[in-house]
């Protein structure tokens, strides 16, 4: 230990003697360590860190998907009410089961109203999650109790301890606050539920079902969660659930029979969509770290060549080779330590940028930061880099110590960079090309996504959601409120058109149904996206009418039932272009058949996201269907905030207990739909840029070193009549050879990595020739440009001076 201390002290002195060299090595390594640490913090928060629930490994989701409806996410298929209560009574695999359903509700307290994400939950909900209120208690026998989140407690009640017992109104019904959940508990939030994407639950209330509702085999609006008993595996729980479902299948309506039992661990369900991209990002940043270590190793090799005489003298005085290697590694530890400290600063800044940039729907992204686990990772990476960039140069520098004494440490007349140096550089080039190809694939995918037809014009369109409560029972009252609101909105200054829809495109909600087309085979497996809209909605959204007419104010409940369909619908069922006038059939709540006459055809609209081809779509008038929730859509050339304030004022004037929520432009919703791919593209492009910079620095250093080592050779060549161009070409040829080998290896590696990235690509193949050729050409051109400067230095040396220097 005493010797190690002396080695470290000597290593620190040697680092201080060459501050320029040390700064370059530290900066190179800090870039790689900082990037790796930042991405690890993201992966740790989203995947590796345990979920914030007691014994989270035993928590599972229970789904009941039906194979008769392909293309619908599994998460949509929750159990029927009667099915859930049968599971709870008959199952032996679960310690507790619960069901929840999330929706926005009008929360009224202190004389003001706002929309709050509210979860209706069955009795064992908090038991399943192992959660307890930080203040107050959970639910009792009273169905008019509420538990609120710590965030809502702070923002709306000023952290008052007297909040317990206060009454709030949710959709005009009174609830008494009995508990406040601890900080960080907001289940479900973000990707934990289809309804809470980008949002957090703020209020929990008991799901007080009537005996009739509990016995319903044709009604299921909730998501089931459970806690496994100790020792029970997911596979065993799923087998038991499947057996129960087979016994109960005959009691379901025929359309919903044949469901499949799916039991998924919480972690898998919540992080499943993000796991592959995040692991790929960690792999990509690992390549950046390898490139940085390769660069540092190349720099150390160059320096070691200049210390051959020193190493020879030390060996002659009795130092063993192991002792010399340890000495050089001690210097590397000093460099890596400084790089680790600098890398943490880089990581902290990178994390701030990632959080501000927006990472799409990555779970628990808000928990990303530099904590103890991330700090340990940074230390481990810093120490690991010592082996990656220090051991090779140390061994190479102590290989031939007697020869070093004979040469006296001077320049050699012949020869340049060693095979090890050229090999390291070729490896750097190969890894850089892999990252450049990956960045190119994601960049092209993002451009393809931006260019896709969305079916609507997002410019100058403002949206906001309004939800009515139980006081507006029946379609007549609901339609009267929304008709008045839309009509008043049209009269606002600068408004060109205003309408409303029950589920806004890219807004997170979804409604699908089966229909029968008159004269066509009845296919109960085909699901159509359906929407209820008001007249002028299509004009407000900029959705083009392709045939027939749009809805009018005369399409009311007392008028003939009408519908509009998308172009894909019209092409599939009426290829001759005669869709207007044809009819569709569905059933009402009592099972009566209703016929709807098609009056118009509009463009297909991307409702769920921008990457999936939209299914066939059917629109029906809101005035004929009714509904208690809509998104108001306003096309205006005026200020977005002014329009939103105008609509909020009108809602308050119509009913102070109704709140406006989700104010946004369609452009913002489109941007949100692109956020995940934009984040992926930006991150990998940043990695590609970093690797390109590091590789260029490495090539520059390699050529500079070669020029210095071959000064005598250059002098002889020029003394014998060699032209400057031939000397310049000699070094450029050497650099091009190294780059060419690396590019070939990189293209091969990129084709393999591209297959792993297939799920992240959109509209471009992993082996796309244009991307591969573009990445190779970009690197080759930029690399040669970077090598010209040191190569020209070789042509500017006086031959006489060069020969005398030997």
Q: What are the DSSP calls for 357-370, one per residue?
A: H--TT-TTGGG-S-
Q: How far apart are the first and last CA of the chain?
A: 43
Most confident of 433-437, 482-486, 675-679, 784-788: 482-486
Nearest to 779 by CA among 694, 676, 711, 722: 694
> Would you state the pLDDT for residue 285?
87
- Kindly report the length of the chain: 806
> Would you state the pLDDT for residue 410?
47
φ, ψ for residue 49, nearest 5 deg: -70, 140
> Would you state the pLDDT for residue 571?
92
φ, ψ for residue 109, nearest 5 deg: -160, 150
Q: Is residue 602 helix, strand or coil?
A: strand
**Cα gap 266→224, rounded to integer Å:** 12
> Would you state the pLDDT for residue 152?
93
Averaged pLDDT, 398-403: 57
Averaged pLDDT, 481-498: 91
Retrieve residue 766's tokens: 């992993």
Lookup result for tokens 């060996």: 315
CB contact at 8 A, 42 and 365: yes
Q: What kind and span of H or E run contains 663?
A: strand 660-665
> Would you state the pLDDT for residue 406?
54
Q: Is residue 351 helix, strand or coil?
A: helix
Averaged pLDDT, 410-437: 70
> Would you state the pLDDT for residue 796?
61
Retrieve residue 172's tokens: 């005009």
> Would you state the pLDDT for residue 751?
83
> Would you state the pLDDT for residue 413?
41
- Residue 552 makes CB contacts below 8 A (sequence gap 6+) with 535
> Would you state the pLDDT for residue 61?
92
Whole-angstrom CA distances from 729 to 415, 628, 708, 737, 792 are 16, 77, 16, 12, 9
CB contact at 8 A, 151 and 321: no
pTM of the model: 0.81
Retrieve residue 103's tokens: 């929706």
> Would you state the pLDDT for residue 715?
62
Retrieve residue 650's tokens: 């009108």
**Number of other CB atoms surrounding residue 773 within 10 Å:** 13
- Alpha helix positions (H), 388-504: 392-397, 401-407, 419-451, 475-490
> Would you state the pLDDT for residue 229?
93
> Would you state the pLDDT for residue 713?
64
pLDDT digits 0-9 by tens, 276-335: 888 888 888 888 888 888 878 777 776 766 666 666 666 676 666 676 777 777 777 888
**Does the pLDDT at position 683 exceed 60?**
yes
- Alpha helix positions (H), 464-593: 475-490, 537-541, 567-573
pLDDT band at 630 (very low <50, low <70, confident <90, very high): very high
Q: What does DSSP say about strands 59-63 and 223-228: parallel, antiparallel, or unpaired?
A: antiparallel
Q: Where are any strands of DSSP class E within 24-144?
A: 59-63, 94-109, 112-121, 135-136
> Would you state the pLDDT for residue 720?
62
**Cα gap 478→623, rounded to integer Å:** 9
Lowest mean pLDDT among 53-57, 713-717, 767-771: 713-717
**Does the pLDDT at position 409 exceed 50?**
no
User: CA neighbours within 13 Å on the CB side: how many for 166?
Assistant: 19
> Would you state the pLDDT for residue 733?
74
> Would you state the pLDDT for residue 309?
64
Nearest to 442 by CA among 760, 772, 767: 760
Distance of alpha carbon 503 from the chain centroid: 24
> Would you state the pLDDT for residue 414?
41
pLDDT digits 0-9 by tens, 174-211: 999 999 999 888 888 877 776 776 678 999 999 988 88
Q: Where are any strands of DSSP class E within 162-292?
A: 167-170, 173-180, 203-206, 223-228, 262-265
**Does the pLDDT at position 1 exceed 50?**
yes
**Does the pLDDT at position 421 exceed 50?**
yes
φ, ψ for residue 740, nearest 5 deg: -65, -45
Whole-angstrom CA distances from 13 to 19, 299, 314, 328 are 10, 18, 17, 12
**Cα gap 78→221, rounded to integer Å:** 7
pLDDT band at 798 (very low <50, low <70, confident <90, very high): low
Cis ω before 212 (30° cut-off from 0): no
**Does the pLDDT at position 742 exceed 70?**
yes
pLDDT band at 800 (very low <50, low <70, confident <90, very high): low
**Does the pLDDT at position 794 exceed 60?**
no
Most confident of 58-72, 243-257, 468-482, 733-747: 468-482
Which DSSP category does 564 fall into?
Answer: E
Q: What kind and span of H or E run contains 7?
A: helix 2-17
Q: What kind and span of H or E run contains 304?
A: helix 266-305
Most confident of 8-22, 96-110, 406-420: 96-110
Average pLDDT, the chain: 82
Lookup result for tokens 């591969």: 772
> Would you state the pLDDT for residue 563?
94
Q: Is 233 exposed, middle or buried (0-12, 13-18, 19+ CB in 10 A)?
A: exposed
Retrieve residue 156's tokens: 């709306």
> Would you state the pLDDT for residue 685?
87
CB contact at 8 A, 28 and 292: yes
CB contact at 8 A, 268 and 357: no
> Would you state the pLDDT for residue 151?
92
Averaged pLDDT, 601-627: 90
pLDDT band at 411 (very low <50, low <70, confident <90, very high): very low
Nearest to 676 by CA among 374, 357, 426: 357
> Would you state the pLDDT for residue 399?
62
Burial profile 40-54: b = 16 or more Cβ within 10 angstroms, e = fewer: bbbbbbbbeeebbbe
Q: Is residue 73 helix, strand or coil?
A: coil
Averaged pLDDT, 755-783: 83
Lowest mean pLDDT among 337-351, 364-378, 429-443: 364-378
Burial profile 696-725: b = 16 or more Cβ within 10 angstroms, e = fewer: bbbbbbbbbbbbbbbbbbbbbbbeeeeeee
Q: Is residue 500 helix, strand or coil?
A: strand
> Would you state the pLDDT for residue 268?
82
> Would you state the pLDDT for residue 707?
63
Whole-angstrom CA distances from 15 to 337, 384, 421, 493 are 12, 19, 21, 69
Percent of the chain with pLDDT over 90: 23
Lowest mean pLDDT among 110-119, 145-154, 305-314, 745-754: 305-314
């Amino acid at each position: 230990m005493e010797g190690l201390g002396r080695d470290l002290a000597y290593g620190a002195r040697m680092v201080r003697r060459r501050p320029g060299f040390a700064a370059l090595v530290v900066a190179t390594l800090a870039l790689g360590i900082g990037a790796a640490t930042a991405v690890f913090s993201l992966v740790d928060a989203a995947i590796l860190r345990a979920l914030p629930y007691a014994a989270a490994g035993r928590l599972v989701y229970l789904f009941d998907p039906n194979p008769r409806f392909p293309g619908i996410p599994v998460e949509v298929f929750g159990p029927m009410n009667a099915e859930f209560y049968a599971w709870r009574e008959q199952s032996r695999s679960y310690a507790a089961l619960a069901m929840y359903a999330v929706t926005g509700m009008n929360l009224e307290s202190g004389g003001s109203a706002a929309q709050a994400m509210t979860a209706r939950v069955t009795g064992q909900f908090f038991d399943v999650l192992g959660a307890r209120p930080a203040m107050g208690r959970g639910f009792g026998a009273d169905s008019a109790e509420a538990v609120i989140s710590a965030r809502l407690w702070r923002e709306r009640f000023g952290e008052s301890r007297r909040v317990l017992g206060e009454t709030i109104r949710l959709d005009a019904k009174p609830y008494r606050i009995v508990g406040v959940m601890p900080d960080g508990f907001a289940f479900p939030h973000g990707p934990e539920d289809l309804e809470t994407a980008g949002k957090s639950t703020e209020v929990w209330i008991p799901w007080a079902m009537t005996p009739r509702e509990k016995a319903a085999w044709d009604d299921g609006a909730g998501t089931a969660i459970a806690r496994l008993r100790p020792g029970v595996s997911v596979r065993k729980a799923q087998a038991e659930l499947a057996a129960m479902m087979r016994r109960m299948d005959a009691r379901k309506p025929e359309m919903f029979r044949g469901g499949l039992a799916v039991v998924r661990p919480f972690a898998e369900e919540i992080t499943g969509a993000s796991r592959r991209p995040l692991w790929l990002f960690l792999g990509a940043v690992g390549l950046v770290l390898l490139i940085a270590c390769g660069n540092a190793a190349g720099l150390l090799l160059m320096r070691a060549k200049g210390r051959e005489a020193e190493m020879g003298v030390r060996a002659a005085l009795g130092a063993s080779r192991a002792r010399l290697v340890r000495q050089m590694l001690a210097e590397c530890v000093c460099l890596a330590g400084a790089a680790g400290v600098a890398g943490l600063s880089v990581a902290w800044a990178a994390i701030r940028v990632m959080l501000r940039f927006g990472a799409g729907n990555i779970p628990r992204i808000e928990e990303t930061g530099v904590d103890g686990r991330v700090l340990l990772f940074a230390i481990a990476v810093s120490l690991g880099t010592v082996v990656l960039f220090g051991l090779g140069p140390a061994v190479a520098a102590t290989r031939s110590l007697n020869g070093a004494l004979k040469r006296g440490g001077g320049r050699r007349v012949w020869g340049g960079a060693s095979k090890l140096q050229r090999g390291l550089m070729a490896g750097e080039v190969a890894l850089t090309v892999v990252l450049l190809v990956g960045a190119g694939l994601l960049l092209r995918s993002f451009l393809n996504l931006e260019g896709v037809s969305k079916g609507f014009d997002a410019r100058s369109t403002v949206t906001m959601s309004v939800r009515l409560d139980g006081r507006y029972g029946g379609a007549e009252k609901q339609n009267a409120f929304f008709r008045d609101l839309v009509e008043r909105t049209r009269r606002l200054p600068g408004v060109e058109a205003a309408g409303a829809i029950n589920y806004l495109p890219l807004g997170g909600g979804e409604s699908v149904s089966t229909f029968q087309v008159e004269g066509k085979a009845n296919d109960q497996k085909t699901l159509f996206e359906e929407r209820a809209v008001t007249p002028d909605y299509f004009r407000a959204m900029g959705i083009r009418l392709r045939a027939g007419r749009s809805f009018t104010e005369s399409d009311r409940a007392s008028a003939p039932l009408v519908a509009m369909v998308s172009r894909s619908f019209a092409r599939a069922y009426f290829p001759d272009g005669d869709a207007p006038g044809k009819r569709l059939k569905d059933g009402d709540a009592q099972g009566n058949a209703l016929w709807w006459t098609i009056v118009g055809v509009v463009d297909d609209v991307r409702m769920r996201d921008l990457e999936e081809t939209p299914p066939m779509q059917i629109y029906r008038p809101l005035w004929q269907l009714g509904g208690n929730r809509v998104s108001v859509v306003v096309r205006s050339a005026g200020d977005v905030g002014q329009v939103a304030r105008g609509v909020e004022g009108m809602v308050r004037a119509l009913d102070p207990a109704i709140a406006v929520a989700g104010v946004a432009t369609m452009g913002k919703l489109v941007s949100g739909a692109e956020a995940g791919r934009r984040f992926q593209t930006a991150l990998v492009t940043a990695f590609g840029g970093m690797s390109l910079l590091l590789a260029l620095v490495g090539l520059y250093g390699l050529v500079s070193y070669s020029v210095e080592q071959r000064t005598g050779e250059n002098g002889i060549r020029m003394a014998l009549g060699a032209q400057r161009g031939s000397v310049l070409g000699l070094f450029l040829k050497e650099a091009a050879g190294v780059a060419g080998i690396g590019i070939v290896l990189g293209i091969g590696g990129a084709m393999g990595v591209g297959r792993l990235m297939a799920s992240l690509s959109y509209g471009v193949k992993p082996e796309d020739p244009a991307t591969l050729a573009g990445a190779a050409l970009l690197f080759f051109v930029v690399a040669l440009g970077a090598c010209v400067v040191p190569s020209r230095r070789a042509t500017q040396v006086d031959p006489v001076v060069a020969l005398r220097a030997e």
